[in-house]
C-alpha cells in the first residue's frame, strides 16, 4: 500500500529512479558468466563499497506512469530489471496483493534460466527525485511453484483482499503497528479441526497486550497509577478459520478515540499473507478504586496514533438487550475463568455465548460477533444465557449474559452464523 506515487519517477532515467514501493529479488548469478567489462565493474564495486552487489536482480515496483506488466532495464545497470506491477494513484491508500511466478519473470527479463534466489528486500526511496514517499508492506512469501500451480486462478481468499482494498483507508503510523506470530494448537480447535472464534479473540488480545507493553501502555504500567484497561466492546469478523497447527500472524495497531475510549484494530493472516479475520476493539481506562471510567491519559491520546483506518465500521450504538425471564443457567464461574485482574476474562464471555448457543442448527459456526461488556464476573457467580434468532435474518442471533439470581446483565452480543 502506498500513499501516492512519485510524480517525477521515470523508469528510463537515472534522476527518476525512485518508486514508492519496491520488492527486490536477488539471484546467485556466477561472476565468471559476466563479460569482461562487467567483471571489471563488479571488482570495482567489491573493492570500493561495503555491501555485496547482486549481479542479477528483479525489481518489482509501483510506478507512476509505466504500463503494468512492462519490463525495463534499471537506468544505472542492466544487471537489474524493473517490472511494473502497479501504476498510478488509482489504487493508492488501499492494500494490494501481488502473486508472481519469479522464474518466469526472470526468463522474460533476462532471456535465460534463473539461478538460485539469494535474497529479497523491500524498499521505499526518493533520493533521485527529491520527493517524499510513504508505503506499507505486508508479509512477503516465497514458495516453490509446483507443476500443478496456476497462478492466475482465483484463490478462495481473493474476495477478502478485495474486501480490504475496497475501502479508502488512511495509512496507520507504521512505527506503531505490531505483528505477532501464532500457531493454532490442538486445544484451540473445534470438532471441525478449525480454530474457534474464541481462539482468534485470544490471539488478538495477546497481541494487544504485547504491543501495549512495548509502548509502555501495558496494564501493569497503568496499575502503577491506580488505573487499569477495561475492554468495552469487541467486533470480530472471520472470513476463513485457520486449521490445526496452521501458522498465523496478527497485525495490530492502536488509534485515538473520543477521549473516553481508545481503539485498536487487528488483522489475522496465514503463511501466504492471505487475510483470515479482522477485529476492532474499544477500550476504556478505569479507576481501580472507584471502578469508574476516567479520561484517557494524555500520552494515549497523542496525535501520532490518529488514523481513520479501521478494518470494520466502528459500532457505536447499543446492542439489543434480551429479557432475563427466558435465560437458562449454563455454568458457574470458576477460578480458571479468572484473569490477572481477578475477574472473568472477556474471551470467556464469548465462549459462553457461542458454546452454549441452544439455537445453533446444522453445525453452523459463528463467523461474526459484536459484544458489549457491561459488568465484571467473579468466581462463584452463576451464569445465565438468553438468546434469540433475528426473525428477519435467520443467521443472526442476539445474546445476553446474566449473573446470579438478580439476573444482572454482564454482556450483550449480536452473532452471525454460517
What is the reported pLDDT for 183? 95
Cβ neighbors of 188 (< 8 A, separation 6 or more) are: 195, 196, 199, 202
Q: Beta-carbon neighbour count of residue 39 at 10 Å?
A: 14
Judged by DSSP in three states, 163 sits in helix
Beta strands across the sheet bearing 71-73: 71-73, 80-87, 57-63, 21-27, 117-123
Alpha helices in 17-77 (DSSP H): 36-48
What gap in Å lies between CA 284 and CA 287, rounded to an integer? 10
Phi and psi torsions of 390, nearest 5° = -65, 120
pTM equals 0.59
pLDDT tens string, the chain, 418 residues long: the values are: 888 888 888 888 998 888 889 999 998 888 777 787 888 877 777 776 656 678 899 999 999 888 889 999 998 888 999 999 999 888 888 888 888 999 999 999 999 998 888 888 888 888 888 888 888 888 788 877 654 444 443 343 333 333 333 333 444 444 567 899 999 999 999 888 999 999 999 999 999 888 888 877 766 767 777 777 778 899 999 999 999 999 999 999 887 777 778 888 999 999 988 899 999 999 887 777 777 777 766 666 655 566 666 888 888 888 989 999 989 999 999 999 998 878 899 999 999 999 887 555 556 889 999 999 999 999 999 999 999 888 877 788 999 999 999 999 999 999 999 8
What domains sit in the chain, N to C, each tagged with a CATH number? 14-153 (no CATH), 154-315 (3.10.129.10), 317-418 (3.10.129.10)
For cell 444465557, what's the residue? 385
DSSP 8-state class, residue 176: G
- 278 forms beta bridges with 237, 267
Cell numbers placing 378: 467473579
Residue spans of beta strands (DSSP E) within 165-261: 178-183, 227-238, 247-255
What gap in Å lies between CA 214 and CA 197, rounded to an integer? 26
Question: pLDDT tens digits for 354-384?
Answer: 988 755 555 688 999 999 999 999 999 999 9
Question: pLDDT tens digits for 228-244?
Answer: 777 889 999 999 999 99
* Region for residue 136 given its phi and psi (left: phi exceeds 0; alpha: psi -120 to 50; beta: otherwise): beta
Amino acid at each position: 500500500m502506498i500513499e501516492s506515487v512519485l510524480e517525477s519517477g521515470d523508469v528510463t532515467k537515472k534522476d527518476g529512479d525512485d518508486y514508492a514501493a519496491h520488492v527486490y529479488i536477488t539471484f546467485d548469478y556466477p561472476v565468471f558468466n559476466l563479460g569482461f567489462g562487467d567483471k571489471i565493474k563488479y571488482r570495482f564495486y567489491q573493492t570500493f563499497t561495503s555491501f555485496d552487489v547482486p549481479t542479477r536482480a528483479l525489481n518489482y515496483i509501483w510506478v507512476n506512469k509505466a504500463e503494468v506488466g512492462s519490463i525495463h532495464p534499471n537506468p544505472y545497470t542492466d544487471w537489474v530489471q524493473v517490472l511494473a506491477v502497479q501504476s498510478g494513484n488509482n489504487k493508492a491508500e488501499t492494500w494490494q496483493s501481488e502473486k508472481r511466478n519469479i522464474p518466469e519473470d526472470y526468463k522474460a527479463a533476462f532471456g535465460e534460466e534463473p539461478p538460485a534466489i539469494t535474497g529479497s528486500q523491500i524498499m521505499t526511496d526518493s533520493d533521485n527525485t527529491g520527493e517524499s514517499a510513504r508505503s506499507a508492506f505486508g508479509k512477503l512469501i516465497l514458495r516453490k511453484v509446483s507443476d500443478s500451480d496456476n497462478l492466475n486462478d482465483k484463490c478462495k481468499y481473493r474476495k477478502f483482499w478485495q474486501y480490504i482494498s475496497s475501502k479508502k483507508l488512511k495509512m496507520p503510523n507504521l512505527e506503531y503497528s505490531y505483528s505477532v506470530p501464532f500457531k493454532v494448537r490442538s486445544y484451540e480447535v473445534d470438532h471441525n479441526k478449525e480454530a474457534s472464534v474464541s481462539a482468534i479473540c485470544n490471539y488478538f488480545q495477546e497481541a494487544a497486550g504485547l504491543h501495549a507493553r512495548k509502548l509502555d501502555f501495558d496494564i501493569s504500567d497503568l496499575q502503577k497509577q491506580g488505573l487499569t484497561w477495561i475492554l468495552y466492546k469487541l467486533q470480530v469478523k472471520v472470513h476463513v478459520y485457520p486449521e490445526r497447527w496452521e501458522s498465523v500472524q496478527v497485525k495490530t495497531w492502536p488509534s485515538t478515540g473520543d477521549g473516553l475510549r481508545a481503539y485498536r484494530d487487528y488483522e489475522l493472516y496465514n503463511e501466504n499473507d492471505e487475510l483470515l479475520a479482522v477485529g476492532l476493539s474499544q477500550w476504556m481506562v478505569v479507576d481501580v478504586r472507584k471502578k469508574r471510567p476516567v479520561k484517557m491519559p494524555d500520552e494515549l491520546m497523542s496525535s501520532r496514533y490518529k488514523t481513520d483506518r479501521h478494518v470494520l465500521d466502528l459500532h457505536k450504538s447499543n446492542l439489543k438487550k434480551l429479557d432475563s425471564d427466558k435465560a437458562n443457567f449454563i455454568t458457574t464461574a470458576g477460578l480458571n475463568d479468572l484473569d490477572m485482574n481477578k475477574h472473568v476474562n472477556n474471551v470467556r464471555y464469548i465462549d459462553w455465548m457461542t458454546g452454549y448457543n441452544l439455537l445453533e442448527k446444522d453445525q453452523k459456526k459463528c463467523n461474526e460477533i459484536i459484544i458489549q461488556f457491561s459488568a465484571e464476573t467473579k468466581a462463584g457467580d452463576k451464569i445465565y444465557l438468553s438468546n434469540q434468532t433475528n426473525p428477519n435474518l435467520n443467521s443472526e442471533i442476539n445474546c445476553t449474559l446474566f449473573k446470579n439470581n438478580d439476573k444482572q446483565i454482564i454482556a450483550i452480543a449480536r452473532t452471525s452464523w454460517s
